[in-house]
């Protein structure tokens, strides 16, 4: 072979090798499953008769299609950004008719806005997918995938998947503190209510493990008293609502304790606790350091702090969503979600226990 042909041949071999290296990891990307509430719902509630919906303008204004998708965000939400960071396609809502065939192998999002740890949380939203039903759908999903690739391969797909679960905030905001003298607040003092929530959450996490989940990211609640909706109702000078902050302060450490106990009993780091409270407080307490003009006023809303009612076409709407930590009265903007996911990916033990998501990805790629 002459020198010119040899160079062409070498280039072709090199190109093939490069293509092989780039394509294979994508083809073998791990599945991703999402459970929880409106912080992680990406459209299941669009298919339900419920008031807990984000399917109209201006939701989705910064989404690639510039249309509302059911995500409670101006653009991407936390699961979207995690999918982006781990090199997977975004998961579809489990109720989406598009979730079939090979698309099932990417995973699924079972989350539903308004739900909590308890079945009586969010009853005002009527028709939502409570966590027990989300877990039933996960079983149904596995049956559907087994018909596609067989039981053994399905078990491997589930065992190797990443799972995200986000619960707890609504059990305070849309239950215990929903109205003065709520049924749960008359039944429990706050510390006892938190103990009860943790005992119920334990059953949910154990069930996830029984269903094959082996890498589960468990997020604590954010600073519930600092969202614009709570500032609008309870704050005189922009300070966070004390009762809801106390609820977060009680709940989150006990959730970390639960995660550690479960891992110890199983003998493996199945569950990873993510300190969403701290991830949010970083930019809430010092918004300018993170490029925000405010962490008190929502981009979309009305009334004090744009924190009253829902985000609708009639609401005030900020021109630049990247400058606002909160998109609507309860939910972070896409840019804030990116900061939160960054702490999940590379945060130290202040944020992630016992390890961050980058470490998990590295460990799992070598075993």
The set of catalytic residues is 38, 328, 331
Tell me which residue has tokens 């589960």: 216
Beta carbons of 351 and 272 less than 8 angstroms apart: no
Q: How far, in whole angstroms, is CA 216 from its chain's centroid?
A: 12
Beta carbons of 36 and 111 less than 8 angstroms apart: yes
Q: Provide the residue count of the chain.
A: 367
Sign of CA dihedral 319, 169, 114, 240: negative
Q: How far, in whole angstroms, is CA 262 from its chain's centroid?
A: 21
- Angle at which helices 334-346 and 276-285 pack, to 10 degrees? 130
Alpha-carbon distance 186 to 289, whole Å? 42
Residue 279 tokens, joined: 């991830």
Q: Map residue 75 onto helix, strand or coil.
A: coil
Alpha-carbon distance 98 to 70, whole Å? 15
Beta carbons of 329 and 301 less than 8 angstroms apart: yes
Beta carbons of 334 and 62 less than 8 angstroms apart: yes
Query: Based on the number of CB atoms within 10 Å of its own CB, is 276 exposed (0-12), middle (13-18) or buried (19 or more)?
Result: buried
Alpha-carbon distance 88 to 79, whole Å? 11
Beta carbons of 257 and 271 less than 8 angstroms apart: no
């Amino acid at each position: 072979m002459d020198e010119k042909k040899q160079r062409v041949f070498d280039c072709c071999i090199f190109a093939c090798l490069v293509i092989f290296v780039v394509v294979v990891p994508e083809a073998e990307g791990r599945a991703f499953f999402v459970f929880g509430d409106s912080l992680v719902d990406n459209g299941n509630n669009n298919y339900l008769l419920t008031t807990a919906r984000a399917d109209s303008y201006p939701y989705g204004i910064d989404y690639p299609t510039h249309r509302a998708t059911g995500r409670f965000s101006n653009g991407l939400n936390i699961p979207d950004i995690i999918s982006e960071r781990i090199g997977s396609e975004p998961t579809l809502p489990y109720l989406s008719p598009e979730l079939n065939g090979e698309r099932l192998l990417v995973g699924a999002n079972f989350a539903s806005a308004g739900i909590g740890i308890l079945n009586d949380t969010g009853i005002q939203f009527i028709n939502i997918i409570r966590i027990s039903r989300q877990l039933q759908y996960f079983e149904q999903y596995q049956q559907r995938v087994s018909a596609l690739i067989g039981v053994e391969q399905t078990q491997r797909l589930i065992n190797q998947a990443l799972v995200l679960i986000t619960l707890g905030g609504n059990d305070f905001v849309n239950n215990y503190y929903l109205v003065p003298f709520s049924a749960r607040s008359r039944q429990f003092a706050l510390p006892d209510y938190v103990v009860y929530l943790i005992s119920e959450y334990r059953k949910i996490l154990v069930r996830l493990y029984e269903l094959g989940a082996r890498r589960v990211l468990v997020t604590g609640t954010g600073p519930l008293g600092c969202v614009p909706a709570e500032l609008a109702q309870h704050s005189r000078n922009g300070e966070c609502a004390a009762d809801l902050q106390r609820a977060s302060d009680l709940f989150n450490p006990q959730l970390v304790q639960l995660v550690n106990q479960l891992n110890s009993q199983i003998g493996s780091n199945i569950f990873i606790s993510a300190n969403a409270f701290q991830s949010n407080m970083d930019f809430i307490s010092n918004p300018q350091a993170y490029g925000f003009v405010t962490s008190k006023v929502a981009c979309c809303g009305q009334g004090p702090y744009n924190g009253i009612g829902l985000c609708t076409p009639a609401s005030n709407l900020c021109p630049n969503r990247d400058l606002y930590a909160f998109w609507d009265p309860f939910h972070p903007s896409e840019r804030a979600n990116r900061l939160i996911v960054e702490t999940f990916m590379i945060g130290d033990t202040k944020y992630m226990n016992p390890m961050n998501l980058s470490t998990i990805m590295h460990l799992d790629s070598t075993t």
